[in-house]
């Protein structure tokens, strides 16, 4: 679908780029470099909302006329947040924590246009349950290198897919960008533009 504005993606994630392309959106990629450290007492939903919005706002400073899409994904065991692993040992420790348990994956998505100062945010949540994993399975997966740039140290569409025992929610949420929510955010922005005219 064509939107009445240009789109900038504040992420270099190949998975997010591919999901946007599946929507027919050819976005300019302009990653935002921000501090993604959770604040004290900050839960996973609040964290992804804040980081998605911060990424969108940061990239929008360099593209004031465009609608910038920021996104952030975290894995959480209850309120314990598992971000991207710092090293292979960290990745293995994360996967050991997820073994045989259910966890939630939160993806926050924010759209923002600097010229108008208008933005919208959405959060999607999915629940994933892994079967019990062996140490050999975890070590072998970590050795592939796939976990190193993934929240929670795994890719559900990759080598960790066979580990999933049950799943509730939208698979795209776990991959990193829920296209249904993105469409809704873009549509809200398009309606706002139509209602406000060219001054927005």
Could you report the per-residue pLDDT of 131-190, keeping only the tens digit for each? 999 999 999 999 999 999 999 999 999 999 999 999 999 999 999 999 999 999 999 999
Integer distance in angstroms from the first to the last C-alpha of the chain? 21
pTM of the predicted protein model: 0.92
Tell me how far apart the alpha carbons of residues 38 and 79 are, in angstroms, rounded to a whole number.
Answer: 12
Tell me how far apart the alpha carbons of residues 108 and 176 are, in angstroms, rounded to a whole number.
Answer: 9
Length of the chain: 200
Q: What pLDDT is attached to residue 17?
A: 96
- Distances in Å between the Cα of 127 and the Cα atoms of 50, 112, 144 are 21, 28, 25
Each domain of the chain, given as residue ranges in start order, spans: 7-199
Would you call 93 helix, strand, or coil by DSSP? helix
**Mean local confidence (pLDDT), 127-132:** 98
Query: Which of the residues 72, 87, 90, 143 is marked catalytic?
Result: 72
Place of tokens 């593209």: 63
Does the annotation count 72 as an active-site position? Answer: yes
- Note whether 25 and 177 are within 8 A (CB): no
- Is domain 7-199 annotated with CATH 3.40.50.850? no
- At 175, list the tokens: 């991959």
Q: What pLDDT is attached to residue 194?
A: 77
Counting DSSP H helices and E strands in the chain, the numbers are 6, 7
Tell me how far apart the alpha carbons of residues 117 and 22 are, in angstroms, rounded to a whole number.
Answer: 28
Render pLDDT for 35-86 as a digit per residue (tens, 0 to 9): 999 999 999 999 999 999 999 999 999 999 999 999 999 999 988 999 899 9
């Amino acid at each position: 679908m064509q939107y009445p504005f240009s789109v900038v993606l504040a992420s270099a994630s190949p998975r997010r780029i591919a999901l946007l392309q599946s929507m027919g959106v050819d976005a300019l990629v302009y990653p935002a470099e921000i501090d993604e450290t959770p604040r004290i007492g900050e839960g996973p939903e609040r964290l992804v909302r804040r980081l998605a919005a911060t990424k969108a706002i940061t990239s929008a400073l360099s593209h004031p006329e465009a609608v910038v899409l920021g996104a952030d994904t975290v894995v959480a065991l209850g309120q314990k947040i598992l971000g991207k692993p710092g090293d292979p040992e960290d990745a293995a420790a994360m996967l050991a924590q997820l073994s045989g348990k259910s966890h939630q994956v939160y993806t926050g998505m924010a759209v923002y246009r600097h010229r108008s100062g208008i933005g919208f945010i959405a959060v999607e949540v999915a629940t994933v349950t892994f079967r019990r994993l062996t140490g050999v399975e975890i070590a072998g997966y970590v050795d592939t290198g796939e976990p190193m740039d993934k929240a929670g140290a795994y890719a559900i569409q990759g080598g960790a897919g066979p580990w999933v025992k049950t799943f509730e929610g939208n698979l795209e949420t776990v991959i990193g960008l829920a296209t249904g929510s993105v469409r809704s955010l873009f549509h809200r922005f398009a309606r706002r533009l139509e209602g406000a005219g060219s001054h927005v």
